[in-house]
Amino acid sequence: MQTIYNLTYTQLENLLESRGEKRFRAKQIWTWLYRKRITELNEMTDIKKSLIEELEKEFYISPLTLTTKQKSKDGTIKFLFKTYDGSLLEAVLMTFSYGKSLCVTSQIGCSMGCTFCASGLLKKQRDLASGEIVAQVLYAQKYLDKYEERVSNIVVMGTGEPFDNYDNVMNFCDTINSDLGLAIGARKITISTCGVVEGIYDFANEHKQYNLAISLHAPDDKLRSELMPINKVHNIDELMEALDYYSKENNRRITLEYILLHGINDTKEMAMKLAELVKGRNAYINLIPYNAVDENSFKKTDEKSAFKFYDLLMKNGVKATLRQEHGGDIDGACGQLRAKYHKKGE
């Protein structure tokens, strides 16, 4: 048995056709799943009973159950879900001026080993199936349905490395982007990688319109290798070469994510190195406040220093944004709530 959310529209069409059904049945089923957001297959009133019974032998709908929910004073909501095998995963719903953005998880645990990150406190157990990622979006959307609001943006930036689960992440994006599904625009879907170069090339060659973000966090190899072990496999030169290829193939601007760590990567020297690295490329820097994690000693950069760093980039010809902090009072770091539950033995 598997969740029916695992199937892309084309896969569902092909499955139905192979069983002698008309292809239009796929559109009917997807309408029930993604527009009417049913929770049981037998709620589909315009699908013949024999087909429903056949589908029920192989598929169920939601693969996730809610374990707990936290709401921040800034409106951020963190959902903690349990999967069919008892694993825990998080999704975070944030409110911005442009709408509701959901940060989704792509793996159970993470093996990238970034030293500042709560996600890596629990090593990778397995990849999430595409339907398990889809279900995070559907749960958040059902929550917003009560307020007549919708998920407008998706960031694949939660626990896990998306390009280490490439096929499932691509299927997930295609499902939520489909006009027959949730119809979330391609340019409102962002995939964030810590620098898996092979995945960047594969993504570039697909010519998708989804946004690409890179977790950079340091402008030179020495510091980046200390913070992010992936840099020992693919150094900054290799990473930038892959990003230049992506830009050439897709003519799309890249987001470079940069978490500001007090006394580590937030100095004037680091700002100048970062400006030199990025200048002339079709990219901008997203400066991110750090959510402190008990298990490490990294500290958040104070607001004054963050603005100084931002100003240095802008004055040196590099476009930058300073992201508003979200969820600092509710275990805001990716993986933090999940890690807390594991500590409690829940």
pLDDT at residue 74 in the model:
87
334 is catalytic: yes
Over pLDDT 90: what percentage of the chain?
85
The per-residue pLDDT for range 237-276, each reduced to its tens digit, is 999 999 999 999 999 999 999 999 999 999 999 999 999 9
Confidence tier at 345 by pLDDT (50, 70, 90): low
Longest dimension (CA), the chain: 68
The per-residue pLDDT for range 63-97, each reduced to its tens digit, is 999 999 999 988 899 999 999 999 999 999 999 99
pLDDT at residue 337 in the model:
58
The per-residue pLDDT for range 138-156, each reduced to its tens digit, is 999 999 999 999 999 999 9
pLDDT at residue 329 in the model:
59
Domains of the chain: 2-60 (1.10.150.530), 65-344 (3.20.20.70)
Contacts of 241 (CB under 8 A, 6+ apart): none
Query: Which listed residue (103, 117, 173, 334) is catalytic?
Result: 334
Q: Give the length of the chain.
A: 346
pLDDT at residue 297 in the model:
83
54 is catalytic: no
Is the pLDDT score of 328 beyond 80? no
pLDDT at residue 155 in the model:
98
Which residue type is seen at 198? E
Phi and psi torsions of 281, nearest 5°: -100, 155
The per-residue pLDDT for range 110-136, each reduced to its tens digit, is 989 898 887 767 789 999 999 999 999
pLDDT at residue 117 in the model:
87
Query: Which listed residue (13, 90, 132, 257) is catalytic?
Result: 90
Question: 158: which DSSP letter?
Answer: S
pLDDT at residue 118 in the model:
74
